Structure 1
Amino acid sequence: METLARLEQVILQRRKCDPETSYVALLKREGRPCMARKLGEEAVEAVVAALSGSDEELVGEAADVLFHLMVLLADRDIALADVLAELDRREGVSGIEEKASREESHAD
């Protein structure tokens, strides 16, 4: 997790850089819809790599997904620690039970 914590700090710093020299700053300038689309594109590429690519391709696409997710989280001022806390909360809970509890809370 140290790698993700370092990446989070780099993303936060680079959001303030010149968009001509920083991809993170460029994404920030282009706005949240662009960030969301890019995350979606990377997720689709990860799915394709999972189904028909090599392990190395999937690893690269997974890294892209994590990076773009973290850029989007930073844009929403959501800390990585918040996501990790949610994963901790779900630990030991059946995925089926956890999904059902989310569906119940949305029905209210």
Structure 2
Amino acid sequence: MPVADGGPMALIIQFAPFALIIIVFYFLMIRPQQQQMKKHQQMVTALKRGDNVTLSNGMIGKVTRVENDEAMVEIAQGVNVRVIKSMISTVQTRTAIAANDKS
């Protein structure tokens, strides 16, 4: 009958698949999410008056005022709403060319 104790090498071989799964999980799930959050944070901190934004609920508007954690967004003429900056999903600057423009 073989001895159950294989020494330290058997222990390494037993835990190697778990370590490999954790490493793959980090590079396929955690790291890309962190990069995406960092990019979104940079976008929100660069927010300025006059930028066209899309909110997380789908509303599109123009930034009229920027404060520390909040922004005032005009969603219709004369209709301003106060939103938390982190709820802004995309930002298009005033100088950005529209997608359907040819020039």
More strand by share: 2
Q: Higher RCO, 1 or 2 (CA under 8 Å, sep at least 6)?
A: 1
TM-score norm. by structure 2 comes to: 0.22
Q: Which is higher, the Rg of structure 1 or of structure 2?
A: 2
TM-score norm. by structure 1 comes to: 0.21
More helix by share: 1
